[in-house]
Amino acid sequence: MSKVDDDIVQRRRRQARRWLSVAVATAVMVVSYAVIVFGLAVAGDDETAFGGGLVGIGFGLVPGVFLALAALSDHERPFRATGLAVVLFFLVGLPIAFVDIPTGLVAGFGAGGVVSLRRDAIHLLSFRVAAVAILTAYTFLVQLVVPAAALLVGAVAPLVVVALADVASEREAKMPGGEGDSGPATPSQRRP
């Protein structure tokens, strides 16, 4: 195998590993999200007393979401990334959750996913943050129109959009004049 073929194989392995880590972490996130939302719904009912316990269990699963994402994506420091992700989950998600719970959970899981998913040099942090911000705004707007759909979006989309932002970063770098292109831009590529 030539060096070019070996690079292609390594890149495809990293991509497969990224999507596997997103799939496993999303499965854990769906359970955490569902338990938190169900616990908050039950806690609003005065006849039951176990809603707070369910919310606690759901929040207890949050570090597992980010640890699965960091470890399976082969992050250099998975435990540090997990700790930072949990802090971001609460710092970003909690204030937004006071306005709208599903939107806050989306913002929290998305913010944690930004730091816990392995980021190579080609992956732009700005793309990840923008993807999470757009998804958060979208979830809030959907929550106003069709609340059940917002619950579904919030349960599956936060980590997926972070990975899709990495795909967009890779495509941006492959474009002529992009970050991965070392040659000068042609006159048609230059902006006035």
Q: Please give the pLDDT value at position 188.
A: 44
Which residues, including other chains, have CB under 8 Å from residue 14's CB and lie 6 or more apart? 74, 120
| Direct distance between the N- and C-terminal alpha carbons of the chain, in angstroms, rounded to an integer | 44
| Structural domain contains residue 87 | yes
Task: Please report whether residue 190 resides in a domain.
Answer: no
pLDDT on residue 182: 45
Q: Which of 8-12, 41-45, 67-71, 174-178 has the lowest mean pLDDT?
A: 174-178
* 3 state SS of 1: coil
pLDDT tens readout for residues 58-109 = 999 999 999 999 999 999 999 999 999 999 999 999 999 999 999 999 999 9
Tell me the pLDDT tens digit for each residue of 137-191: 999 999 999 988 988 888 899 999 999 999 998 888 877 765 544 444 444 443 3
Within-domain flag for 79: yes
Q: Residue 136: which of 110, 169, 175 has the closest Cα?
A: 110
Structural domain contains residue 192: no
CA distance linking residue 188 with residue 115, whole number of Å: 36
Range of the domain at 165: 3-174
Question: Which residue has tokens 């474009």?
Answer: 175
Mean pLDDT of 6-14: 83
Helix (H, G, I), strand (E, B) or coil at 119: coil
Q: How far apart are CA 134 and CA 152, in angstroms?
A: 16
Lowest mean pLDDT among 5-9, 30-34, 58-62, 63-67: 5-9
Q: What is the mean pLDDT of residues 38-56?
A: 78
Q: Is residue 5 pLDDT above 90, yes or no? A: no
- Are 189 and 177 in contact by the 8 Å Cβ rule? The answer is yes
Residue 120 identity (one-letter amino acid): D
Enter the pTM of the model. Answer: 0.85
Q: What is the pLDDT of residue 184?
A: 42
* Token pair in block for residue 39: 């616990």
Please report the pLDDT score of residue 51 as a whole number.
78
Comparison of pLDDT for 45 and 31, the residue scoring more: 31
Q: What pLDDT is attached to residue 1? A: 61
Helix ranges, the chain (H): 3-43, 51-72, 78-97, 101-116, 125-145, 147-174
Buried b (16+ CB within 10 A) or exposed e, 103-136: bbbbbbbbbbbbbbbbbeeebbeebbeebbeebb
pLDDT at 179: 52
CB 126 within 8 A of CB 74: no
Say if 191 falls within a structural domain.
no
The count of structural domains within the chain is 1
In a domain, 58, yes or no: yes
* 187 within domain boundaries: no
